[in-house]
């Protein structure tokens, strides 16, 4: 049975009969695409509902129409389904409750617990005080209930300019908690809303809508990230003043990841600044970016489960996430041979015009994946880096006069090197040993390397994109004076190879198909693939840094 402080609280609440059945929610704002940090919240909220036989709502916090778009709503729903979760009933929206929230605000005005304030945003900030100095009461704080009701109705009816008035809670301007110093509940904002159109010209703030939406939906446990801990007294104050259903708020530490920024605002800067191709750029920590890069959803769920739930902020090494990606792909990805930087090989003693079909294993981790046939012919392509004319020490791959094994095929020996007029190697002339097909030499001689290859006659062209970390620093926000986080962007985070050659089994790939290119890493077919030429994104390399760290401790 899984346990952490959140689950312990829920178990205790159920045992005491405080709640008969738990009801959680995931409340994203549709102003950008979800990232890996949101995945932690998604997995937590939906998993809690599953474990305790409860329900989990999807509710969009659409209280700021100036920043929200329907495309983000659709993207968020796709991401949640991709992770393998399904919300309770239809998706919900804070805008579903705009009328009810307005009625609640009227109740507080009638109780003398809210007032219309004419201070500008800058004046409100100044009047608010500081962490060490109390705030000052607004000169409009003592308006009568009747005047506040009239002005608030006028705000709704569009009688006042944008920004000229706000509705504020009347709490305590000397509170040590700045959130309790008469926070704003409504502001005037004439902006088209993606669901309500131009019906409203006043919109609730997040702090006002948060707890009330939870209450309306009967949420029992409101799971929030740690930055909302100081807001909890305000949410409780609103609920207690209204006398409505009280959800229990529990805060947990949000996810921070090395070499990554986890702020929607920063991610939007990357998109608008042209540093990446869009929200789904495979270098982005967004779920749509990870999906395009080939990350399996189960790997993300396993990662979120492994890091657990804590009360203290920390930063997780990105190699742990990559470990779970490799682990999942190792079990499921089919193996194929692809040459990224081709060097032509002609086997001079192999019959011209002959083609053999050699048996290749699809996945040694999964016997049920079976085998495939790979064509072998006189002319092949190998990786250029697998040949060195004058080998350095400990270079065991192909060189003049030396033998290597071709994967699933034969031993070959390099006899001659063909160069162009500038001295560049253009072709290797080799011989093969027919007795070594698919195995070792009958005479017992050994080779120290096995390399991959493709038949030149049967190869399929491809473009391959090699991705690295988007940032050069573990903490991209670690900037010198006068610098921006964008100054830490890795200029080598994307390398495009246009002349790759693949085995023919990859001639009909579909976007999202994932493979292990033997010896090279895991790759995913991109949506940019076109008829006759596939485009692959490198999901991740074969080397597992996290596994090495766990094994060696360094």
Instruction: Tell the CATH topology of 338-452.
Output: Ribosomal Protein L25; Chain P (2.40.240)
Q: What angle do CA 512, 517, 522 make, to 5 degrees?
A: 50
Which residues, at least 6 apart from 240, have a Cβ–Cβ distance to it below 8 Å?
246
Catalytic residue among 7, 29, 128, 269: 29
Rounded-to-10 torsion of CA 541, 542, 546, 547: 180
At residue 259, the 3 state secondary structure works out as coil
Q: What is the mean pLDDT of residues 130-145?
A: 97
pLDDT for 551 equals 64
Let me know how long the chain is.
554
> Which CATH number, 3.40.50.300, 3.30.460.20, 2.60.120.10, 2.40.240.10, labels domain 264-333+462-552?
2.40.240.10
CATH annotation of 5-252: 3.40.50.620
- Residue located via tokens 């500008």: 120
pLDDT for 554 equals 53
CA distance 288 to 273: 19
CA distance 20 to 13: 9
- Residue located via tokens 């009280």: 246
pLDDT tens for residues 329-386? 999 999 999 999 999 999 999 999 999 999 999 999 999 999 999 999 999 999 999 9
Burial (CB count within 10 angstroms: exposed 0-12, middle 13-18, buried 19+), residue 205? middle
Catalytic status, residue 354 = no
CA distance 26 to 43: 10
CA distance 382 to 343: 5
Is the per-residue pLDDT at 544 higher than 90? no
Is the per-residue pLDDT at 41 higher than 70? yes
Burial (CB count within 10 angstroms: exposed 0-12, middle 13-18, buried 19+), residue 45? buried
Q: Which two tokens stand for residue 323?
A: 């470990």
pLDDT, the chain, mean? 96
Catalytic residue among 67, 150, 195, 254: 254
CA distance 237 to 242: 9
Q: How much helix, strand and coil, in percent to the nearest 5, is found in the chain?
A: 30, 25, 45
Catalytic residue among 264, 293, 397, 402: 264
Judge whether 135 and 172 are in contact, CB under 8 Å. no
Phi first, then psi, for residue 91 (nearest 5°) are -65, 150
User: Shortest CA distance to 118 belongs to which of 65, 184, 68?
Assistant: 184
pLDDT for 482 equals 84
- Residue located via tokens 């921070």: 256
Q: Which two tokens stand for residue 545?
A: 């840094």
At residue 186, the 3 state secondary structure works out as strand
**Got the DSSP string for 123-139?**
HHHHHH--SSS-----T
By DSSP bridging, strand 342-347 and strand 425-433 are: parallel
Catalytic status, residue 240 = no
pLDDT tens for residues 219-229? 999 999 999 99
At residue 524, the 3 state secondary structure works out as strand
pLDDT for 481 equals 85
Q: What is the mean pLDDT of residues 102-114?
A: 98
At residue 356, the 3 state secondary structure works out as strand
pLDDT for 546 equals 66
Is the per-residue pLDDT at 78 higher than 90? yes
Angle between helix 36-51 and helix 297-307 axes, rounded to 10 deg:
80
Model pTM? 0.94
pLDDT tens for residues 418-466? 999 999 999 999 999 999 999 899 999 999 999 999 999 999 999 999 9
pLDDT for 550 equals 65
CA distance 298 to 84: 8
Q: What angle do CA 513, 515, 518 make, to 5 degrees?
A: 160
Catalytic status, residue 264 = yes
Phi first, then psi, for residue 211 (nearest 5°) are -70, -35
- Same-fold call for 264-333+462-552 versus 338-452: yes
Judge whether 168 and 138 are in contact, CB under 8 Å. yes
Burial code (b: 16+ CB inside 10 Å, e: under 16) for 214-247 equals bbbbebbbbbbbeebeebbebbebbbebbebebb
pLDDT tens for residues 394-430? 999 999 999 999 999 999 999 999 999 999 999 999 9
Q: pLDDT confidence of 553, banded at 50, 70, 90? A: low
Q: pLDDT confidence of 2, banded at 50, 70, 90? A: confident
Q: What is the mean pLDDT of residues 76-99?
A: 98
Q: What is the mean pLDDT of residues 519-530?
A: 95
Between the two ends of the chain, the Cα-to-Cα distance in Å is 32
* Domain locations in the chain as residue ranges: 5-252, 264-333+462-552, 338-452
How far, CA to CA in Å, does 394 sit from each of 71, 341, 397?
54, 22, 9
CB neighbours (10 Å) of residue 35?
25
CA distance 127 to 86: 45
pLDDT tens for residues 479-511? 988 889 999 999 999 999 999 999 999 999 999
CA distance 259 to 318: 7
Strands (E), 220-280: 221-225, 248-252, 255-257
Judge whether 503 and 382 are in contact, CB under 8 Å. no
Q: pLDDT confidence of 77, banded at 50, 70, 90? A: very high
CA distance 237 to 444: 82
């Amino acid at each position: 049975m899984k346990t952490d402080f959140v689950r312990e609280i829920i178990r205790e609440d159920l045992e005491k009969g405080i709640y008969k059945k738990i009801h959680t929610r995931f409340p994203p704002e549709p102003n950008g695409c979800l990232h890996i940090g949101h995945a932690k919240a998604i997995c937590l909220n939906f998993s809690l509902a599953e474990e305790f036989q409860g329900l989990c709502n999807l509710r969009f916090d659409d209280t700021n129409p100036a920043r929200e778009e329907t495309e983000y709503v659709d993207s968020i729903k796709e991401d949640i389904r991709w992770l393998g979760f399904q919300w309770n009933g239809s998706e919900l929206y804070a805008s579903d409750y705009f009328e009810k929230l307005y009625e609640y605000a009227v109740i507080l005005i009638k109780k003398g617990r809210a007032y219309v304030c004419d201070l500008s945003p800058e004046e409100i900030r100044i009047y608010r005080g500081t962490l060490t100095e109390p705030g000052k009461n607004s000169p409009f704080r003592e308006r009568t209930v009747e005047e506040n009701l009239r002005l608030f109705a006028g705000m709704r009816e569009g009688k006042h300019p944008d920004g000229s008035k706000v509705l504020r809670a009347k709490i305590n301007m000397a509170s040590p908690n700045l959130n309790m110093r008469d926070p704003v509940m409504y502001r005037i904002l004439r902006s088209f809303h993606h669901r309500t159109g131009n019906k409203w010209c006043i919109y609730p703030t997040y702090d006002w809508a948060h707890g009330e939406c939870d209450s309306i939906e009967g949420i029992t446990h409101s799971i929030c990230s740690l930055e909302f801990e100081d807001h909890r007294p305000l949410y409780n104050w609103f609920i207690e003043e209204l006398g409505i259903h009280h959800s229990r708020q529990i805060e947990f530490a949000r996810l921070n990841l090395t070499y990554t920024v986890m702020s929607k605002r920063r991610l939007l800067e990357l998109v608008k600044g042209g540093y990446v191709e869009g929200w789904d750029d495979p270098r982005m920590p967004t779920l749509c970016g990870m999906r395009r890069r080939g990350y399996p959803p189960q790997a993300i769920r396993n990662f979120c489960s492994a890091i657990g739930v804590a009360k203290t902020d920390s930063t997780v090494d990105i190699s742990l996430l990559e470990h779970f990606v490799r682990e999942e792909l190792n079990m499921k990805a089919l193996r194929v041979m692809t040459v990224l930087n081709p060097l032509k090989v002609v086997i001079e003693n192999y019959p011209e015009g002959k083609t053999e079909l050699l048996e290749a294993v699809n996945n040694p981790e999964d016997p049920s994946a079976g085998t495939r046939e790979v064509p072998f012919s006189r002319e092949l392509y190998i990786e250029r880096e697998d040949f060195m004319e004058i080998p350095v020490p400990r270079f065991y791959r192909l060189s003049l006069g030396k033998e290597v094994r071709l994967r699933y095929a034969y031993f070959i020996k390099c006899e001659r090197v063909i160069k162009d007029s500038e001295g560049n190697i253009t072709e290797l002339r080799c011989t093969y040993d027919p007795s070594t097909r698919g195995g070792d030499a009958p005479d017992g001689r050994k080779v120290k390397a096995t390399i991959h290859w493709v038949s030149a006659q049967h190869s399929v062209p491809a473009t391959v994109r090699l991705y690295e970390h988007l940032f050069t620093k573990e903490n991209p926000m670690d900037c010198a004076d006068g610098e921006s986080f964008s100054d830490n962007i890795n200029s080598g985070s994307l390398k495009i190879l246009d002349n790759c050659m693949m085995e023919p089994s990859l001639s009909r790939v579909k976007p999202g198909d994932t493979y292990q290119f033997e010896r090279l890493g895991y790759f995913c077919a991109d949506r940019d693939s076109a008829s006759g030429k596939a485009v692959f994104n490198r999901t991740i390399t074969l080397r597992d840094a996290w596994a090495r760290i766990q094994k060696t401790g360094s």
